Amino acid sequence: MNWENLPILIILCLSVIGNNHSVSIAALILLLIKLLGFHTWFPYIEDHGITIGITILTLAVLTPIAQGRISISGILEAFKTPIGLVAIFVGILVAWIAAQGVFFMKESPEAVTALVVGTIVGVCFFQGLAVGPLIAGGIVSLIISAIGLFKN
């Protein structure tokens, strides 16, 4: 066995132990791509995977609107309640923080490994979701910027 496969195997084992199907499937697919010799796929997945994943996630979020279960009046109602207004504000904030994470991860590749490890631990053992690296990267970017170690 090639020792460079060990990290993805460890992630696969941890995700199975942590009963996280998303990480298990992702790790297994990546391991199979590697073992089957489709190495040329990795740059495409790395360059476009986040966009594809966000698109699929957005499809899922917009489906109730497309099905008519959420109407224009329902959307407008969100602006009339305190919970709706807080949710809108938090949605805007988190989207902005995630965008900072994308920038930060491109500018600070050394932080990507730590963000990935933190996300894997959060997903496998704390019932988290794998959307964490972008938001975590954004939060790290904001903290680092606040203490003056990174220029946005």
40 assigned to some structural domain: no
50 assigned to some structural domain: no
Q: How confident is the model at residue 66 (pLDDT cuts 50, 70, 90)?
A: very high
1 assigned to some structural domain: no
pLDDT of residue 33: 95
Cβ(109)–Cβ(69) below 8 Å: no
pLDDT of residue 131: 67
The letter for the amino acid at 36 is: L
41 assigned to some structural domain: no
134 assigned to some structural domain: yes
Q: What is the pTM of this model?
A: 0.66
Cβ(17)–Cβ(124) below 8 Å: yes
- 95, two tokens: 């989207």
| Cα distance between residue 25 and residue 23, in whole Å | 5
pLDDT in tens, 1-54: 568 888 889 888 887 887 778 878 989 999 999 999 999 999 999 888 878 888
47 assigned to some structural domain: no
Query: On the CB side of 43, how many CA atoms lie within 13 Å of its CA?
Result: 1
23 assigned to some structural domain: no
Domain that holds residue 132: 71-152
pLDDT in tens, 89-130: 888 888 888 888 777 777 777 777 787 778 778 877 887 777
Domains of the chain: total: 1
pLDDT of residue 151: 55
13 assigned to some structural domain: no
